[in-house]
A and B are shown apart, each in its own frame.
Chain A
Amino acid sequence: MTFSRFVRPILILGTCVLGAGAASGQAVADRVEVLTDIHGYFPCMDCHADQETNPTPRILEEEHEIPLEWTDDDGVTQLVPFGRRVALVDLLDAGAGDLAGDNMQRIGVRLSITDYMQENDLTAADSVWTLVHGGGNLWCLDCHNTDDRDKLVKLNGDLLTFNQSQLLCGECHGPELRDWERGIHGTTTGYWDLARDAGGESFRKLCVECHTPHDPAFPSLTPLAGPITRVDGPGERRTGDTAGHATEEEH
């Protein structure tokens, strides 16, 4: 009894500390580190810092020229990390091709979106800018902070950095956030056994690494090659939507 009285507050305190870790975007509960491709630079305030905000929801025209590049502290030109949707689909294909690498960790290979875009000459013009999310019930300032465009804003007014975006998603998608925190929803790679002395790390992607925030439905993909059937003879791959619907005669 006495033991419980002392231990329980410690456990609760520990849980709060872990929760604070999650809020920082560096680590969440379950000893799982969150990796993110989101770089530390966001271009919004480059222009909006000196502009007056019109808070009235409206259909936005293409009012501003989107900066495609920025120069980092080392003087290196970087692409703005947009175009997530087009990059995601291509990344998956690139990832599948990379499986022929030469070590067992290759399955978990992760490429930077920006690296990929640079390699393939993709620009922000290839990205999805249409706000599909919410079906017309949302607009920019429901998620982006009015005064500081480099921050996101929760319904209660709390500000979040972009690598805490899962907490914003969870405002509407609570069950998904709950499952994500427990490892049930979302992509996790690495070790199942986190207690291993050597390694023992697991990596979990943020919501926006799989779901474009402005158009979050998971994109359709071209499947990799299917099995060979006997219907068309050995070595022949069937094509078209009719694959698999063999007639009695074919059998």
Chain B
Amino acid sequence: MSQKWVETSVGLFILAAILGMLLLAFKVSDLSLYGEHDTYTVFAKFDNIGDLKPRAPVTIAGVKIGQVVSINLDKALYKATVTMRIKARDNNIPTDSSANIVTAGLLGSNYIAITPGFETAFMQDKGVISETNSAILLEDMIGQLIFNSKKGDKDDEKV
């Protein structure tokens, strides 16, 4: 077993490990090379965030433009302050846009959908989205449905 073969196979071993690492980084975890300096922060206050969690996507028209960084309670207003990091490339969000918490599919996780407004001024770093809609809780909706259908039955009886 010559020294050359030993060194070559160690080199191949390290190359294989680097290849594995690259696959894990780019194919498995979809590491983007955007650092924090390529993003800007936007806040929004919600009455109820439902099941929203940090790292949830932020979308416009279904396209992911950023993600939720942290969720805190605003002690003065009893509202949830959601901090979002948006890609610097998508810097043309009108200031009167509204943020909604929606659910992916029937049982999917929650994410934030931003509906653009009509203002010509755009959201800056540390800007606040003032118009928000809370998460729609499935339980509340089912409750409402049952309540409405019962009312409908009673109306039928009267007639």
A in complex with B: no
